[in-house]
Amino acid sequence: MDIHEILKTCDHTLLRVDASSAEIMQLCDQAIQYGCASVCIPPCHVAGAKRYVGDRLKICTVIGFPNGYCTTAVKAFETADAIRNGADEVDMVINLSMVKDRCWDLVKADILAVRRASEGKILKVIIECCLLTEEEKIKLCEIVTACHADFIKTSTGFSKGGATREDVRLMREHCPTAVKVKAAGGISSLQDAEDFLALGAERLGTSRIVKLAMELDKASE
């Protein structure tokens, strides 16, 4: 698969807690140069990044990140604030405590609050697969679908594991085509990227693919 086609699916990501404004601007420059789907950045950098890129690039940010255990009201407020600041897409983390307690109505209400606050924007729901049983993953596919999210996402990349081929396959099998799959965390090679896309992922959360493209460009000089 051509690397430029892979790059079109990438949310070029920098969520490190000490990321500077200069690093975020550099991330944006790279994403524009290589035709990425978006940059995924911390909420505090959204307004500055949006001013910097204007309409040249989609800005994605994270909600309830990385633990997901803030209250529903906080997530809704954080979402509305991010959108006011210029976010085009939001990736929210579900409340895993609610999942483990099997409080499915509360899980759904949590997602729906963010869906309402993000109306008209792309919503991706991070379910953190590495902490879930297969039964929980399948149930969350059902709930995310019912909440009319645009994507279901494997991982934050900040827990004990990232995307796996098995999880992407399972999510694609248990979500309708209207709900897309985003694989994130641990995508370290072109082969990883190709495999996830072949299994049905339509977005990749990674910074590594842009770095590989830069290395290829440098090698060809």
Catalytic residues: 91, 153, 182
- Of 21, 36, 2, 56, which is closest to residue 210 (Cα–Cα)? 36
By residue count, the chain amounts to 221
Q: In terms of DSSP bridges, do strands 10-13 and 38-41 run parallel, antiparallel, or are they unpaired? A: parallel
Q: In terms of DSSP bridges, do strands 180-184 and 10-13 run parallel, antiparallel, or are they unpaired? A: unpaired
Cα–Cα dist 84/6, whole Å:
30
Question: By the 8 A CB rule, do 41 and 63 touch?
Answer: no
